[in-house]
Amino acid sequence: MRRNILITGASAGLGAEMARQFAAKGHNLALTARRTDRLGALRTELIERHPQLQVVVHTLDVTDHDQVFDVFRKTDAELPLDRIIVNAGLGKGAPLGTGRFDANRETALTNFVGALAQAEAAMELFRARNTGHLVFISSISALRGLPKTVTTYAATKAGLASLAEGLRIELLDKPITVSTIYPGYIRSEMNEHVSNTPLIVGTEAGVRAIVAAIEAEKAKAYVPRWPWSPLARVMRYAPLPLLKRMI
């Protein structure tokens, strides 16, 4: 079944590859990001490959909360939205107390407060029609507190997962579905600093696992399933000394 899907943070990385793979599955797309030049190039690419699809693009900075609501409403009027993927995020960060509050604040405002605005705007649309699929792209780092440069990032992704679960509890047995996706190491601009880990997978393969989990409307998914599904259990319960050695 063809769906109309909005993806935030779609100009690069996981968002852009999700757009390519959802388009290949025959879904119409609404793509948002701050970098309009990249969005325009991506739209051209998708229309050339899939001329039967509708692809609309809008500039969006998710830290501009009024703009989030305006863009979501405008997009829904153009292309009634069945699924909204909260994907926009930052990976900036520094150890707390080292003089880089600016970087940690920017990550917190983008990854959590920006996601909260997106969830509010999405749920406004979905509640009005009593249907829809809201997807949060969290991270395997959400499972535990992590040290140094990823402390704030991990905290924001944990907050995102908690936000999603609260909604999921509220909406049990109702026609609005909420999914939380926990990607492991997938090659992208954001995680170039972990490119040497043996656990990293390519962008296309990693996003294929993300898209499959979203299409199945899973409540929670650790992706790619191997090795992250079993590793997630270990990470969740490992004592701190063991966790520190693992990471």
d(CA 240, CA 152): 18
Q: Which of 153, 182, 185, 222 is catalytic?
A: 153
d(CA 225, CA 5): 24
Per the annotation, the verdict on 182 as an active-site residue is no
Distances (CA, A) of 164 to 15, 32, 58: 19, 21, 25
Q: Among positive and negative, which fits the CA dihedral 112, 208, 124, 27?
A: positive
Cis peptide before 227 (omega within 30 of 0): yes
Distances (CA, A) of 190 to 44, 50, 117: 24, 28, 22
Whole-angstrom Cα Rg for the chain: 17
d(CA 99, CA 72): 36
d(CA 4, CA 96): 41
d(CA 223, CA 207): 9
Task: Decide if 31 contacts 7 (C-beta within 8 A).
Answer: yes
Residue 195 DSSP label: T
Annotated catalytic residues are: 153
